[in-house]
Each structure stands twice: as structure tokens, then as C-alpha cells.
Amino acid sequence: MLSDGKRHVFPRLNHDQRQARRDAIIDAAEAIFADKPFNKVNMRDIARLAGISPALIYRYFPNQQHLFIEAFLRGARDLIPVLDDCIGTEEKGLVEKVARIFIAYLTEHEQYFKMMTHFMLEGSINEDLQERLNTIERSVLDRFDRVFVKTGAKKDVRGLSHAFFAALNGILITYRQHPGRTADEVREHMELVARVMARIFENEARSGEARG
């Protein structure tokens, strides 16, 4: 409110300007998520980096959780076309190639991995937001289904995809911050583990005996 009692009027923005501001808020949130634990991030920090007032953020995102989700979804959507390109053009060693893409993407974009693990462990996500997360997860699993069908799986393809998704995240959680190793050594070790894991999944897919 202004001192004379008149309500503050925000400047009227067109669609492109509103989208640009929304993107700037998400960019700022991602930058801060990459540097701080989630419980240390607040809207004031994000607003400061975005160059706007904290109150203005709430015109675009009702709360911090919605902003977290939107930032994660934007990053996860960027992974989908990368997977599609690989699946559409590769045949030999497809499981390993997709595993390496997934691990490399979430290693290079650590903020998305931190968001994903946060949501996996968070038990109080709004139901509508949870469905949005489930939708993007299903999109990734759909790509994994295509990988295993091309590899030869005949039964319980979705079960293989769920196990593959869990195994990839397990590699990232276990080795991403491996003590005493450089970033290059960590990446090389994760790729080695991914190759071993990929052979196991390829053999299971080709056996035709994948079970739930």
C-alpha cells in the first residue's frame, strides 16, 4: 500500500514480458538451488538474484514448493528430446548409451538432481504438484520402455524401466559426491558402473524372462 492509502499498481505487462519475468525467477531459483541445500533457500534470496521484490514472486508462484516443481519440470523436459534423439538413431548398445545420457545430464545439471531427490524424499507435496511430477516421470519411463523393446524385451517392459530408473538414480546417489575423487574421476567411475549395470539389463531384456 502507498502512504496515501492508494493500492500499489504493478505495471501491466504483455504475455512475452510476463513469460520473461517468470523465466528469470526460475533461472534465479535454479542458480540458488545449485549452491544451497533446499532448507537454506528462501524466496528473498531468489527475488534478490532475479532483481525483483519478494512480493512479486508470489504473483507468479503461490509458494516455494510450486517454484521448486516448475524449475525441476523445466529441466526434466529438456532431457526428453535428448533421450528421443538417442533412441531414434541408435541400435547397438542402446541401454548403455541411454544410461550414460541420463547420468551425464543430471551430473552436469546438479540442481535438477538435487530437486529430484528432494521430491522423492518429501512426503508432503501437494496432490496436483505430485501429479505433475508423476507425468514427467512417466515420460522418462516411456522412453526407457522404448529402449527395452528395441533391445528385445517381451514381458514386463515397464517393470524393467522402473528398475532401470531406480538403478540410475542409485548410481548418482552413491557416487556423485565420492570422497577423495576429482570430478573427472567420479564421472569415469559412474560411467564404469553404468556399463556394468547396462549389460545386466540388456541380458534381462534379451532373455524374454523379465518379471515384476
Q: 150-209, pLDDT tens digit by residue?
A: 999 988 999 999 999 999 999 998 988 777 788 889 999 999 999 999 999 999 998 865
Q: 88-122, pLDDT tens digit by residue?
A: 988 889 999 999 999 999 988 888 888 888 777 76
The number of C-alpha atoms within 13 Å of 9 and in the hemisphere containing its C-beta is 4
CATH architecture of residue range(s) 63-207: Orthogonal Bundle (1.10)
User: What residues does each domain of the chain span?
Assistant: 7-61, 63-207
Top CATH class of 7-61 equals mainly alpha
pTM, full prediction: 0.81
